[in-house]
Amino acid sequence: MTEALQARRSRRGTSGRMARVAQRASPVVKRSPHGPQAGAYRPLTDTQVQTVLDTAFRILESVGMGMIGDLPPAAKQMLENGARLSDAGRILIPRSMVEDAIAATPKSWTLHGQEPDRTIEIAAGKPHFGTAGGAVMILDSETGSYRETCLQDVYDMARLVDTLPNIHWCYRSPVARDIEDDYLQDINTAYALLKGTTLPFGLSMSSVESVRAVAQMCDIALGREGQFLETPIAHTVQGAGVPPLRFAYERCIIKEEAIRQGFPIMIASATQAGATSPAPLAGSVAQSTAEALAGIVYANTVKKGCPLTFAAWPFVADLRTGAMSGGSGEQSVLAAAVAQIACHLGIPASVPAGMTDSKIPDAQSGFEKGVTVALAGHAGAAMIHESAGMHASLMGCSLESYVIDNDMLGNILRTIRGVEVSDSLLSFDTIADVNIDGEGHYLGEAQTLEVMESEYVYPALSDRQTISEWEEQGELSILDRARSYTRSILETHHPTHLNAEKDAVIREAFDIRLNQV
């Protein structure tokens, strides 16, 4: 062995490795604000992308947007700015108006965490993963059976997600069904998320009053009035319309207020192929694109350049039964297709993925989530909602699944990163050292230790033991390990970023139903 090799190997030691192990074991892990560059998966050719867009423009120009209820304020302004009413009473939006709105839409924007290292950049083609949904049932950790969701579940979900490094924001997944009043449900949901995690969070809101209240609550948490407008820590999935191709007055005025209060908006168009959009996938993509573009025009009419995502969310039904099929191959390519279209436009996309039809964390759940989330990520969706925790086509959720899915998301992020090539990483000198006068393997090489954290991802739960080790450890399944982790976090992890003084001010201002911890 040469002196150089001896010197290189003498620099080995356990202190660095142990520090890395300790960091991985820490309940809160720092995240990068920038997602990896994606876009390699392209379910549409360039010509097909343009054809879909041309069809969407044509839909808006000639079919237009119908109305549910009165004409909302920004729709009236759209008519003053170049749109027009058809003889059928529909708002026809010219292509030039849509193109102007696309040009005004930010290509990237910042979603802030309550701690600076939780802040993320939302940009076209750079995926981040987060939660979402509206589960009304939860797979109870203790009984193994489903029960109705409650406010405590929202808080527990937030505390758990707070510790999972591959989940980048915490949108409300379970619904607080123990609170019947919509306004109280909105503010209590916001409080549970605000208190449970320092990640950026999100929720849907049912009224203008709720929007104002949640913004006020965020200001209190951030320390001063108007701070939320400057550093938004929450976003909302807030569509303006109801498929097929209709603006809804109530949704529009909620969206208008959310934009004025500073919430980044997911311009959601939740069509369902074969029900509220055409059964052919191309037709569903075209209609969903048209609806999302109409929402972008509407948002920019309220406030030009407001932060938003192109959230065309085309869902799939099993046409034999009419039931939603969130884990299907069709759902995978639909989400990827609209992400590709948004990347073509240079606008950040939000898509739904990870909505398995399975009711439990099983093999079906794994492959359905893996396919849908991976394709959405590789297609370049900036925000992938519902990527963890969800079951039963969004009707159910499982705390253990958030933990299991965190491992999946880490591996998917690694595949999106791909292979970095440089002179040092091509390893010519190391290859020469090992093969000419080395020991014939790379296990002890300094380079191996140097890149073990940057090149490789180490799952928290996935089993990599030998069979004998696995047997000696009790033959635990990944669900067993997830259940143990979840129980430990819920017993020990009580975030304190919302201090007692701010917490008291919020509780004085609002009817908070979550018990004090």
SS (H, E, C) 274-301: CCCECCCHHHHHHHHHHHHHHHHHHHHH
Please give the pLDDT value at position 20: 36
Please give the pLDDT value at position 517: 72
Q: Parallel, antiparallel, or unpaired for β 396-397 and 390-391?
A: antiparallel
CA atoms within 13 A on the CB side of 504: 3
DSSP at 135: B
Asked if the structure places residue 46 within a domain, the reply is no
Asked if the structure places residue 196 within a domain, the reply is yes
CA atoms within 13 A on the CB side of 498: 27
Please give the pLDDT value at position 32: 67
Q: Report mean pLDDT in 10-residue bins for the chain, 517 residues.
A: 39 34 42 84 98 98 97 97 97 98 98 97 98 97 96 98 98 97 98 98 97 98 98 92 95 97 95 95 98 97 98 93 93 97 98 97 98 98 98 97 98 96 96 94 94 94 96 96 97 97 98 91
Task: Report residue 257 as tokens.
Answer: 């207020």
Q: Parallel, antiparallel, or unpaired for β 383-385 and 323-324?
A: unpaired
Please give the pLDDT value at position 8: 36
Please give the pLDDT value at position 1: 38
Task: Report residue 65 as tokens.
Answer: 């947007």
DSSP at 272: E
Q: Are 291 and 64 in contact (CB under 8 A)?
A: no
Please give the pLDDT value at position 9: 37
Q: How far apart are CA 245 and CA 269, in angstroms?
A: 9
Residue 185: which H helix or E strand, with range? helix 182-196
User: Residue 238 belongs to a domain with what CATH number?
Assistant: 3.20.20.480
Q: How far apart are CA 157 and CA 202, in angstroms?
A: 13
Please give the pLDDT value at position 31: 59
Please give the pLDDT value at position 16: 36
Task: Report residue 326 as tokens.
Answer: 């969130």
DSSP 331-371: HHHHHHHHHHHHHHHT--BEEE----S-SSSSHHHHHHHHH
Asked if the structure places residue 40 within a domain, the reply is no
Going from the C-alpha of 331 to that of each of 116, 241, 328, 384, 394, the distances in angstroms are: 35, 21, 5, 13, 13
Q: Structural domain of residue 265, as residue ranges?
A: 102-417
DSSP at 117: G
Which pTM value belongs to this model? Answer: 0.92
Asked if the structure places residue 250 within a domain, the reply is yes
Asked if the structure places residue 500 within a domain, the reply is no
Asked if the structure places residue 476 within a domain, the reply is no
Q: Work out the angle at residue 363's Cα, subtended by the Cα atoms of residues 362 and 365, and round it to the nearest 5 degrees.
A: 65
Per the structure, how many domains does the chain have? 1
Asked if the structure places residue 186 within a domain, the reply is yes
Asked if the structure places residue 425 within a domain, the reply is no
